[in-house]
Chain A
Amino acid sequence: MAKNVLLVDDSSTMRKIISRSLRQAGLDFGEIFEAGDGQEALDVLEKESVDIVLSDINMPNMNGIEFLREKASRDGIKDIPVFMISTETGDDIIGEAKSLGAVGALKKPFTPDKVNEVLGPLM
């Protein structure tokens, strides 16, 4: 069954590019939800049926690391997988994200082929 995706990025342009890349990569997905920061993402997760989250790290209000930490504390949503899509590639911050439950990371900028390669197995 096609998975519902939540895109979390403060850039609306980047959300559109990721959405387009998912289509161009030929991945099978259902509904796409969007959020502009970690707090908005938590609100969406509490209300909608989301199967996987693709999240930026550097965002205002609540960043990707804070989002992971808060999500991990909420029983109803803590097991929804989160994949990081960010300019942040350092072992320290990606390691911290993974320690908080992130299942992988993709560096910006990316190509549709790269999206297919790393997200295909999760879809």
Chain B
Amino acid sequence: MELEKSLVDATLEVFASMIFIDIEPQAASNEPVTEFAPNISSLIGLAGDMKGILAIHCPEKVALEITSSMLGMEVDELGEDTKDAIGEIANMVAGGLKVSLAEEEKNIEIAIPTTVIGKSIRTAGLSGASRVMIPFVSPTGRFGIELRYLLET
């Protein structure tokens, strides 16, 4: 299974059906999280046949654009609404990944998302884990979907 394709497909489905913002995926890269200048990141733990974290990293403008569109109202500062909205995107992308892995007879469990607001956010941990970072371009900027994982064979 191509994890990158699964992540792209899951993210595009979430944005097309529930956020209504046109986004374009870019080639997967090894860019560090800081390249996205994230002001808000939501991380969700994965367990079972794939252990790791799935994260979404957004600069402020992109997070506000996404939250405003999801809620159908203007949101102009990072806060509880933004944390909740970005966390729900992480949850749904992880759900899409779970469906793809289930087709390969691999079962994962998804934790409750944790969302942080700050500057110079980085992720670390999971010694020996593989990493996929997929940038997406929205009308207001770039955001990243990151997967750090250990996959049972």
Listed in ascending order, the chain A residues whose CB lies under 8 Å from chain B are: 10-14, 16-17, 20, 58-60, 86-90, 107-111, 114
Q: Interface with A: B21-29, B86-94, B141-149, which one?
A: B86-94
Beyond A17-B18, A20-B72, A87-B98, whether A109 also contacts B112 by CB under 8 A is no
5 CB-based A-B contacts, threshold 8 Å: A11-B84, A13-B71, A17-B70, A88-B110, A89-B102
Residue on B nearest A21 in the bound complex, by CB: B18
Question: A13 touching B70 by the CB < 8 A rule?
Answer: yes
With an 8 A cutoff between CB atoms, is B107 at the interface?
A: yes
Nearest Cβ distance between residue B45 and chain A, in whole angstroms? 12
Interface of A is mostly: loop
Question: B84 touching A13 by the CB < 8 A rule?
Answer: yes
7 tightest Cβ-Cβ pairs between the two chains A and B: A87-B95, A109-B17, A13-B85, A109-B18, A11-B88, A13-B84, A111-B17
Question: B112 touching A58 by the CB < 8 A rule?
Answer: yes
**B88 to chain A: which residues have CB within 8 Å?**
11, 13-14
Alpha-carbon separation in the docked complex, A108 to B94 (Å): 11
Question: A110 touching B18 by the CB < 8 A rule?
Answer: yes
Interface of B is mostly: helix
Question: B112 touching A60 by the CB < 8 A rule?
Answer: yes
Alpha-carbon separation in the docked complex, A23 to B27 (Å): 38
Q: How many residues of B contact A (CB 8 A)?
A: 25
B residues 75-103 in Cβ contact with A at 8 Å: 80-81, 84-85, 87-88, 91-92, 94-96, 98-99, 102
Residue on B nearest A10 in the bound complex, by CB: B112
With an 8 A cutoff between CB atoms, is B37 at the interface?
A: no
Question: B81 touching A13 by the CB < 8 A rule?
Answer: yes
Add 14 more A-B contacts to A11-B87, A11-B88, A17-B18 (CB < 8 A). Answer: A12-B81, A13-B84, A13-B85, A16-B71, A16-B72, A17-B71, A58-B91, A58-B110, A87-B98, A88-B98, A89-B99, A90-B98, A109-B14, A111-B17
With an 8 A cutoff between CB atoms, is B4 at the interface?
A: no
Residue on B nearest A56 in the bound complex, by CB: B91
